A = this chain, B = another copy of it.
């Protein structure tokens, strides 16, 4: 029941209408790993950081059940750094600074003992790097989930499409689904994307929830209406981490179970945005998670008994 996670481990500096941070721990793989750790403790991380990355953060991950054997530490490198500022609506942001640093020539190496992973989560990263990881796994995992973003669509669409063709589940946001297909209608965009390789597509709509498609069915999960969204950074990764974590825990890759996994992923994302960075993902109790899932059940459940 092992989960292999690849993605960035990073420093972020974030500014929102509610405040700003200095460099804090971030990165897609960090959020994914922490979120998944609430459902499984057999998580292996493949990523890269520089010598400036604090050991305490690595120890924190280890304590959470995230094995960092595959986290390369470049002694003469600097950790990937991203800085951004959110607008008042929290749905849009400006990137203030991006320093690729050690990511520039990252050549991922999956430790020998981790190549038998049953589940593979490809966090947002260059699609060529994501593909290199897939190619190192000798036996096809039960499920390969891939997250990506508009940046790769604009800069290396051909490489991106090659990687997309190799995965089972693609997660992107609504604008990216439109960009990837040229279709404004998300239903039509989904139909096109499901001919590109993935059997499942998750379209993330931020505060407007998420859609899950296969070629026959569609499922919608709302986002929880929150009094305040404090910092949306990492919400999509946290969602993906909860999604794959729940699937690893339940070992069930059916559409019906993916629906549950999306609810668990949405619950984790709702915690994420309530505080800055990864802060709110560090010490949730099982009860807090279950109560949050119950909030989702209460939010959408209704009983209509149709005659037919």
Which A residues contact B (CB, under 8 angstroms)?
Answer: 88-89, 184-188, 205, 208-209, 211, 217-222, 225-229, 256, 259-260, 263, 287, 290, 293-294, 297-300, 302-304, 306-308
> Does the CB pair B88–A260 fall under 8 Å?
no
> Does the CB pair B306–A290 fall under 8 Å?
yes
Please tell me which one of the listed residues B220, B228, B302 contacts residue A263 in the complex, with CB atoms under 8 A apart: B302
> Does the CB pair A302–B218 fall under 8 Å?
no
Q: What is the total number of copies of this protein in its complex?
A: 2
Distance (Å) between the CB of A255 and the closest chain B CB?
10
Q: Which 10 A-B pairs have the closest CB atoms?
A: A259-B302, A208-B208, A220-B222, A187-B227, A187-B225, A300-B300, A220-B299, A260-B304, A290-B306, A185-B227
Asked, given contacts A293-B306, A306-B293, A306-B294, whether A185 binds B222 with beta carbons under 8 Å apart, the answer is: no
Q: Name the B residues within 8 Å of A308 (CB-CB).
A: 287, 290
Please tell me which one of the listed residues B88, B209, B260 contacts residue A303 in the complex, with CB atoms under 8 A apart: B260
- Shortest Cβ distance from A190 into B: residue: B225
Please tell me which one of the listed residues B208, B220, B227 contacts residue A205 in the complex, with CB atoms under 8 A apart: B208
Q: Name the B residues within 8 Å of A89 (CB-CB).
A: 184
Can you sample 10 A-B contacts with CB below 8 Å? A89-B184, A209-B222, A221-B300, A222-B222, A259-B302, A260-B303, A287-B308, A290-B307, A297-B304, A297-B306
